[in-house]
Structure 1
């Protein structure tokens, strides 16, 4: 690689982000290393479910990256980002961040959502269908980048495919994340990586500018990933002279000069003012393309595209380029790009202003200010935003209100931009919303540092309210005197963002504080047994002080306590867990809470209770385990029981968790373990739409077992659908005989699809075959149910499931098995009129044994068959 400093004519956070592989269980590096101390402390907090990191028994935190913030050269802070998983699947909106200092002291825990997910992780639609649904969200699809089965953290969670499609949406470039419900096909959410924005910088100077180039091209290999290319060719500009641009803004090459100059200044600002290493935090930048034929500029989620103004000049000014890189920084910090209206655009404007301030160009170039787009004159009316007084340009709002989340994103940036200006400069040249006066600001560098450290505390689902909490927390951690904290609060009050519950307080004198941890953080005990865990406390601020400890969340049959109930911070106690024989097996979160020094902290202990196996026991299952109906419709399933140990017992069946307006009926309501029943769930017109988890319980004298049936009401019908029916729907055979039924399918929507058949609920010794096994919807198959002499008498509900590419449906067949009628002929099956026999088949009939010598069907008085030859083997 050859590095050169090129001269050009133009008219024109160092967030050490360290990617750490592995999860919380990894051993940390050498203790003296502040990064290792930060990782070890954060991993311990994540494993223990400290404070905001509370999690359910099936949830874990997987470390993603470590970002360095603080005050470069004076105070280092580390922000460890985590992804939440549920049963091994990534949780969208389940991210979390742990902030520590260089000594490994935990300063803050933040999470996008609390734990407690309960999700059936078995998809009912496949990835291909999810991608078809995702593609339909764009007017033009250029490509599908892939689909990932995930859990969307809404309520108790939803199983989704996260599919990324690229193309055009509403006339704009799009890189769209589509979250398709993996059980119903409903689009649950949309997130677009593409962010549109504009900036200021008609050109930079004074000329000639000095920029870093590599190999006589508009590539900067000293800043990996930073390259400027022609939008039309996707190739950088090259010159034998290493001197680029002609001083005319209509030249794309000149546009690349402005891009490199601006980005290199922003890169240095990130390193020197904020401590960030490159745009992505790992020492890399992004490609910038100049030549988009639109009056705009974009961050696409992968690269930046620079368009033109109405005078056909490429708008690669410092605040435009800085703004678009601000969108990239938003994406490359914890939690990803903020989605509430205004936050992302204000983030871009703030980084544009910071870059202008760092470059400090003289007049008539792009001097430091809080105007956006004033030099590129995008549409011929001067600046497009004014951070000091947003209403002065296009009447953008100065103050936050409940209307902001529904406001156009550039206009909605007004209150956040206004907050940043007031924090940096005060209210001398800026009106406040509450009539307050802010005599002086803390300066743009300090304000930028607070905002950047708040970004490192960001989780998905950020709002103006959450940013108030995050910036107050950052200010408190950066400045122990609380002066910056007070300035942040005054600026938020001045733009009408109200105080929030849970926002931090700040005292300029040391306060007593502590942290909690459990060793181990989980345990398993058999019902009737007990276990313990050590509760460790550590003094993290002030002096050692009394911490009162309690434990809660124990289920029935489990008791928990902490001994001693209070300790001096720095000491340990014991969490005692004891269970009774009646404790229900399962995994439960136990919350251990400590109160002391005016602070409250908690950690989570994951308790697993394993049951004692009854002498007589059974298992219960439903087939199918899910169904979809419209309000007013009904779904059926077979409830099967199996003896797993000891003797069969009478089992009473019940259902709980039914949605409003729904009823459950079992036929029969009581079975002997080993038998089956038919469950019908009927809904009404008032039954709410959605996915409902219904618990089916079998209660016997020696054991109680349950399973889950998922009922979806009002689910989106598949585009291609079919129905299935049996004819006849019932039949009677003697043990050893067989019955047949025609399985008919009909295409009810869209195109025919391949349908595959299975049968469940068969009695002992019985088998089911389909001829053919698969059909195209609209065709039929023959179901043959064959029994043996060992098949017990009784009536059985057999569920036929038709699995299609786009839908699944069921039908039921009632089979009655009678005695073999063979007068005690041992294991021989009874002759059946509907069975086709071949030579050497043996049957019992009329208390005699018979052997077929030919091919036989049909009835004949006195002997099996009407035209076959049967050999009489004598009485049984």
Structure 2
């Protein structure tokens, strides 16, 4: 049963009263069109065309990963569609991108971590085991290792690397380290740690009474899935029959969990009501918080929050700490992940702590809204840790950005961005500026938080203070057409000495005419001497329809390109005409199509593929139907038909590329003779992203290769939460009557963490399996103890460990070898069996002795296997 608990406080946290929450549900009218699907489709078209910042080489593709909602809740919806780049099918680390649209599907902005143009040899020279060994060496102690994924690191023209995630400790502190090892040389190219350290304020909140949401008389909030507070030492939530928690003592971990739930629930509501975000991860889920870390600090580990203590041994689970650490989680769960330039991540945590304090609006003497960090917890006996209004005043941290910031310690480096946020929210009345300027009034903390959050939704993995300037100006322009917020955002950046950047938007109160550009199709294949066409589509995204001049560039010698007409009114289309001469060498050529309209310029990329000389034997390829729609987890089929167009029939091998994540393609048969047909079955998984996906079906013959496009539309259901389960080690040996253990590890692979419970099957007679704990949150581990008895038969057994979550179930197998049954400790010798036929030199165990056969025998005799005459006693064992 879910209840709301009233918690009354004295000097710390004291007695509780119970209030049963009630409510009613009301069906909402279905919208005429799903704006998420509209936004995703528009963004997919932009990504496929290589629009503006999404420029890409011929071997690069964008795979959609998530759609985030921003804007102003209840007034203006904006959508941010996040993509990951691939190169020849491999993930590109640092190749991520974001497309911003409005609810009508108009593309407002495109950002990318890099500009494409990768050229990488994807053949590794070292194997995965070597890469894992190198990755493990980066930590002092290693608790868990997650694979070695062959990837491309987006530096220059790219480097082939293995990405391995190792969890453990580094320099005495927890670490979840992404290690990027050059797949050709073994050199460590980059290190990225998910763990973020932070600090906070007091344990006490008020005024009386406080109310928190709990479930089943425990410190778990099932009204906010995934949110639970546990004891660090047991990994279990606090449970009481009285449903009352906290003893009024700041040294109580149970009291710490009360503060965790109170603060997180306030932050959750702030995210919803002020920013329009659904939960900590954006998909309606929270994370586990552990109270009891033996450190004067708190951490976001990349999977959970760990709360430590101050120098007075008081648990620091208050508004600042919990809000700050959840800020790290939100940073990770928005496009681009956690910021890597010094100061960005810590300032983001401080900003979300300040936003949560402002939303909770507790009166004095509790944790009142302010821009101080750690003012009540007195972490090390020196009062506040940071002051966002004047970072230099408390800790000597820099108020202003300089070229030294990227090399500054991360907490000190948070000063400039914290200072910028304060100036944006409150103005410069109580805060000195770096350039001597005056900002008469800020836009308020709620509006400032909205600008910063929408800028976070434009993040990429290459984020810097400079890029945050561009992103926040873009967000302010999109949120407020009057440009008032834009002007204060700009003044605040100037006031902390972050200079103007090329490409940052301008803003006037009169709408500026702007347009979008797209190609259909975005590529074409011709033989040398042939020609092809594509449609250049334009649309008006701001202001009024206006003239757009169209040009093309980048084509090689022997290729001519024209656009008819050469200029259109935004909203109209033109035709791209491409023709080649017989002398054009076979290859892939990117052609840039540019549109200039008023003060704005946009470009897209058309990929021209020129084949060799027309083959003597040739065929055509077609799919019918050429499109299909499925829900995630469903399948669809189409017919792939081939026709001989010249010469003789040839063997044609069929393949499919461009499949979305989690989808597979199967041809029946996979090879046909030109003139025959095959059945193509496309199967999706629950994690396959919604949207329109263009799949290329290719037929390769001995003399010719042809392709056709199949459009797969996956319904707009949100991705299923999923996880993986592993055993470490995967096998063990015991004597009958003994026991062994293995670690059951879980990892969240899609969506958000979920509760996972464990069972084991396939146990031999007399054996038992015990999991400690019986259930975990995905991302956590359990210990499996396998115990045998003296009656457990000798042998090798495959034990299946089943992990059952709310959405999915997975299994892993463990090989258990039991020795000594009937053999008295005779190692791996098989026990003698009366029904087995033996030959000379066979060895068995029986009655605690080793026996060797000297002849052919079966059947039992007292005291020895078979007959005394044919068995040699090798002695006791």
Shorter-chain TM-score category?
0.5 to 0.7
How many Å apart are 1:599 and its aligned residue? 0.5
Equivalent residues in 2 for 1:740-819, closer than 5 Å: none
How many Å apart are 1:614 and its aligned residue? 9.2
Match of 1:473 in 2: 474
Give the Cα–Cα distance (whole angstroms) in 1 for the partners of residues 244 and 207 of structure 2: 15
Residue 566 of structure 2 corresponds to residue 565 of structure 1: yes
Give the Cα–Cα distance (whole angstroms) in 1 for the partners of residues 309 and 178 of structure 2: 28
Match of 1:544 in 2: 545
1:693-744 Cα offsets, whole Å, 9 max, x none, are: xxxxxxxxxxxxxxxxxxxxxxxxxxxxxxxxxxxxxxxxxxxxxxxxxxxx
Match of 1:706 in 2: none
Equivalent residues in 2 for 1:269-280, closer than 5 Å: 269-280=270-281
Match of 2:793 in 1: none
Equivalent residues in 2 for 1:55-134, closer than 5 Å: 55-134=56-135
User: Does structure 2 conserve the Cα–Cα contact (< 8 Å) formed by 1:30 and 1:36?
Assistant: no
User: Does structure 2 conserve the Cα–Cα contact (< 8 Å) formed by 1:9 and 1:245?
Assistant: no
Give the Cα–Cα distance (whole angstroms) in 2 for the partners of residues 146 and 133 of structure 1: 13
User: Does structure 2 conserve the Cα–Cα contact (< 8 Å) formed by 1:550 and 1:594?
Assistant: yes
Give the Cα–Cα distance (whole angstroms) in 2 for the partners of residues 80 and 217 of structure 1: 37
Give the Cα–Cα distance (whole angstroms) in 2 for the partners of residues 31 and 114 of structure 1: 37
Q: Which moved more, 1:557-566 or 1:546-555?
A: 557-566
Match of 1:343 in 2: 344
Match of 2:489 in 1: 488
Match of 1:679 in 2: none
Give the Cα–Cα distance (whole angstroms) in 1 for the partners of residues 563 and 268 of structure 2: 52
Equivalent residues in 2 for 1:293-312, closer than 5 Å: 293-312=294-313
Give the Cα–Cα distance (whole angstroms) in 2 for the partners of residues 86 and 155 of structure 1: 14
Match of 2:442 in 1: 441
1:235-280 Cα offsets, whole Å, 9 max, x none, are: 0001111110011110000000000000000000000000000000
CA 607–8 in structure 1, closer or farther in 2 if over 3 Å, else same: farther
CA 4–365 in structure 1, closer or farther in 2 if over 3 Å, else same: closer
Match of 2:504 in 1: 503
Match of 1:226 in 2: 227
How many Å apart are 1:370 and its aligned residue? 0.1
User: Does structure 1 conserve the Cα–Cα contact (< 8 Å) formed by 2:5 and 2:244?
Assistant: no
Give the Cα–Cα distance (whole angstroms) in 2 for the partners of residues 285 and 543 of structure 1: 44
How many Å apart are 1:3 and its aligned residue? 3.7
Q: Which moved more, 1:384-393 or 1:139-148?
A: 139-148
Give the Cα–Cα distance (whole angstroms) in 2 for the partners of residues 584 and 31 of structure 1: 50
How many Å apart are 1:503 and its aligned residue? 0.4
Equivalent residues in 2 for 1:679-758, closer than 5 Å: none
Give the Cα–Cα distance (whole angstroms) in 2 for the partners of residues 225 and 146 of structure 1: 25
Match of 1:585 in 2: 586
Match of 1:289 in 2: 290
Give the Cα–Cα distance (whole angstroms) in 1 for the partners of residues 303 and 607 of structure 2: 40
CA 118–30 in structure 1, closer or farther in 2 if over 3 Å, else same: farther
Match of 1:553 in 2: 554
Equivalent residues in 2 for 1:288-687, closer than 5 Å: 288-612=289-613
Q: What SS does structure 2 have at the residue aligned with 1:466?
A: helix
Match of 1:744 in 2: none
Q: What SS does structure 1 have at the residue aligned with 2:411?
A: helix
Give the Cα–Cα distance (whole angstroms) in 1 for the partners of residues 282 and 540 of structure 2: 32
Give the Cα–Cα distance (whole angstroms) in 1 for the partners of residues 244 and 284 of structure 2: 26
Give the Cα–Cα distance (whole angstroms) in 1 for the partners of residues 318 and 543 of structure 2: 49
Match of 1:815 in 2: none
Aligned residues: 599
Match of 1:52 in 2: 53
Match of 1:183 in 2: 184
How many Å apart are 1:315 and its aligned residue? 0.4
Give the Cα–Cα distance (whole angstroms) in 2 for the partners of residues 197 and 80 of structure 1: 30
Q: What SS does structure 2 have at the residue aligned with 1:154?
A: coil
User: Does structure 2 conserve the Cα–Cα contact (< 8 Å) formed by 1:3 and 1:221?
Assistant: no
Give the Cα–Cα distance (whole angstroms) in 2 for the partners of residues 186 and 101 of structure 1: 44
Q: What SS does structure 2 have at the residue aligned with 1:134?
A: helix
Q: What SS does structure 1 have at the residue aligned with 2:395?
A: coil
User: Does structure 1 conserve the Cα–Cα contact (< 8 Å) formed by 2:316 and 2:377?
Assistant: yes
1:184-212 Cα offsets, whole Å, 9 max, x none, are: 11111000000000012331112332100
User: Does structure 2 conserve the Cα–Cα contact (< 8 Å) formed by 1:252 and 1:290?
Assistant: yes
User: Does structure 2 conserve the Cα–Cα contact (< 8 Å) formed by 1:548 and 1:567?
Assistant: yes
Match of 1:645 in 2: none
Match of 2:267 in 1: 266
Give the Cα–Cα distance (whole angstroms) in 1 for the partners of residues 372 and 297 of structure 2: 17
Structure having the higher Rg: 1
How many Å apart are 1:8 and its aligned residue? 5.2
How many Å apart are 1:2 and its aligned residue? 3.5
How many Å apart are 1:4 and its aligned residue? 4.2
Q: What SS does structure 1 have at the residue aligned with 2:117?
A: coil
Q: What SS does structure 1 have at the residue aligned with 2:504?
A: coil
Q: What SS does structure 2 have at the residue aligned with 1:393?
A: helix
Give the Cα–Cα distance (whole angstroms) in 1 for the partners of residues 404 and 112 of structure 2: 26
Give the Cα–Cα distance (whole angstroms) in 1 for the partners of residues 279 and 383 of structure 2: 31
How many Å apart are 1:127 and its aligned residue? 1.0
User: Does structure 1 conserve the Cα–Cα contact (< 8 Å) formed by 2:6 and 2:209?
Assistant: no
Give the Cα–Cα distance (whole angstroms) in 1 for the partners of residues 585 and 195 of structure 2: 50
How many Å apart are 1:30 and its aligned residue? 9.1
Q: What SS does structure 1 have at the residue aligned with 2:494?
A: helix
Match of 1:149 in 2: 150
Q: CA RMSD in A?
A: 1.3
User: Does structure 1 conserve the Cα–Cα contact (< 8 Å) formed by 2:203 and 2:256?
Assistant: no
Gaps of 5+ in 1: 13-28, 616-876
Give the Cα–Cα distance (whole angstroms) in 1 for the partners of residues 131 and 439 of structure 2: 53
Give the Cα–Cα distance (whole angstroms) in 1 for the partners of residues 370 and 516 of structure 2: 44
Q: What SS does structure 2 have at the residue aligned with 1:128?
A: helix
User: Does structure 2 conserve the Cα–Cα contact (< 8 Å) formed by 1:64 and 1:83?
Assistant: yes
Residue 44 of structure 2 corresponds to residue 5 of structure 1: no
1:788-822 Cα offsets, whole Å, 9 max, x none, are: xxxxxxxxxxxxxxxxxxxxxxxxxxxxxxxxxxx
Q: Which moved more, 1:219-228 or 1:117-126?
A: 117-126
User: Does structure 1 conserve the Cα–Cα contact (< 8 Å) formed by 2:436 and 2:495?
Assistant: yes
User: Does structure 2 conserve the Cα–Cα contact (< 8 Å) formed by 1:588 and 1:606?
Assistant: yes
CA 200–448 in structure 1, closer or farther in 2 if over 3 Å, else same: same
1:396-435 Cα offsets, whole Å, 9 max, x none, are: 0000000000000000000000000000000000000000
How many Å apart are 1:519 and its aligned residue? 1.0
1:36-75 Cα offsets, whole Å, 9 max, x none, are: 2111111111111111111111111111011100000100
Q: What SS does structure 1 have at the residue aligned with 2:317?
A: coil
User: Does structure 2 conserve the Cα–Cα contact (< 8 Å) formed by 1:6 and 1:242?
Assistant: no
Match of 1:210 in 2: 211
Residue 221 of structure 2 corresponds to residue 249 of structure 1: no
Q: What SS does structure 2 have at the residue aligned with 1:409?
A: coil
Give the Cα–Cα distance (whole angstroms) in 1 for the partners of residues 551 and 31 of structure 2: 34
Match of 1:692 in 2: none
User: Does structure 2 conserve the Cα–Cα contact (< 8 Å) formed by 1:523 and 1:607?
Assistant: yes
User: Does structure 1 conserve the Cα–Cα contact (< 8 Å) formed by 2:562 and 2:578?
Assistant: yes
Q: What SS does structure 2 have at the residue aligned with 1:413?
A: helix
Give the Cα–Cα distance (whole angstroms) in 2 for the partners of residues 567 and 30 of structure 1: 34
User: Does structure 1 conserve the Cα–Cα contact (< 8 Å) formed by 2:527 and 2:614?
Assistant: no
User: Does structure 1 conserve the Cα–Cα contact (< 8 Å) formed by 2:2 and 2:213?
Assistant: no
1:98-130 Cα offsets, whole Å, 9 max, x none, are: 101111111001111111111111111111111
How many Å apart are 1:317 and its aligned residue? 1.1
CA 609–299 in structure 1, closer or farther in 2 if over 3 Å, else same: same
User: Does structure 2 conserve the Cα–Cα contact (< 8 Å) formed by 1:148 and 1:161?
Assistant: yes
How many Å apart are 1:557 and its aligned residue? 2.0
Give the Cα–Cα distance (whole angstroms) in 1 for the partners of residues 392 and 574 of structure 2: 58
How many Å apart are 1:141 and its aligned residue? 0.7
How many Å apart are 1:7 and its aligned residue? 3.0
